[in-house]
Amino acid sequence: MLTPSNLRILAICSVLVGGLVIAGYARSTESSAISNRLSDEKIGNNTTQPISSVPSRPYIPQNSAVSIAINQNGNMRRADPRGYINVGIRETYKIEINSPSYTSAVSVKIDGVSIIDGLICDRSVILERPRAIAKQFIVLEEGNPGLDRDGGINNPDLGLIEVTFRPIKRRAAIALEPLPRTQEFPPSASAPSRDEASKSRASENRSNAVGTGLSGSSSQDFVATNDWVEAPEIAPTVTKKYRLIGLRAPDPVTLQNMNQNRPSEIVDSAPPRL
């Protein structure tokens, strides 16, 4: 028989048991959440994150495209595959220097003599005189006293044009540029056109050894500057060598020789009468 006292005790026990059950469920839920969070953290720590890279400056690997051309009164003369350039004798000339992919500090030697050092070639530049003398370049045949005391006969560098290209950039731009990635560029010769190559082969057997003299006057001026610094990370230093060859002019036609060297006329004999 349940008395009011027993009922009160039973109610109190029920409340206590219910509280313990609720507390245990909450603790179990919290423990599960903590376990899940720790598991997520471990997974997150084991995940490889992408690493952002600093983009390198996109330099074009075309250092081999550096070249020169000889300009004689508007006639552009370029090198054949062997590096020979056919030029007209007794004609003045200018050197058109090309560095299309980057700015270069250019040094030029002609016939073994230093003509200029550190000429800025911002993609292209024209050189028509030595730095020290305001006279134009002119092509002279070997033996001409305008070349040197021996007329260039004993000069192994006669006709040789040596051009060195050193990549440079403006001093003020160094701090603004990202660090470029050093690249290696294999040297290769620029291919001349088919017409130039055929002209070179046709003139091989009728060319003269020539050198460079000075003639007339040149108004070209040079200004010293320290705004530029060498930048070997852009491309390696390139030295190109060419040799001038003078075209041997044909004998002029005169009244005295206009009828000479004409081949004799060939006439077939008439077949005999049957």
**70, 137 contact by CB (below 8 A):** no
Tally of helices (H runs) and strands (E runs) in the chain: 2, 12
**Long-range contacts: 117-120, Cβ < 8 Å, 24+?**
119/222, 120/168, 120/225, 120/228
Backbone angles phi, psi at 63, to 5 degrees: -60, -25
Q: So where are the chain's domains?
A: 63-247
pLDDT by residue for the chain (274 residues), tens digit each? 556 666 666 666 666 666 665 656 555 555 554 444 444 444 344 433 332 322 334 444 444 589 999 999 999 999 999 999 999 999 999 999 999 999 999 999 999 999 999 999 999 999 999 999 999 999 999 999 999 999 999 999 999 999 999 999 988 766 555 554 444 444 433 444 444 444 444 444 467 899 999 999 999 988 888 889 999 999 999 999 999 999 765 555 666 666 666 556 666 655 565 4
Candidates 100, 23, 48, 45; CA nearest to 69 is 100
SS3 191: coil
- Cα–Cα distance for residue pair 200/122, rounded to 1 Å: 30
CB neighbourhood size of 193 (10 A):
10
Looking at this protein, which amino acid is placed at residue 60?
A: I
pTM: 0.60
Interacting residues of 145 by C-beta distance below 8 A, sequence separation 6+: 151
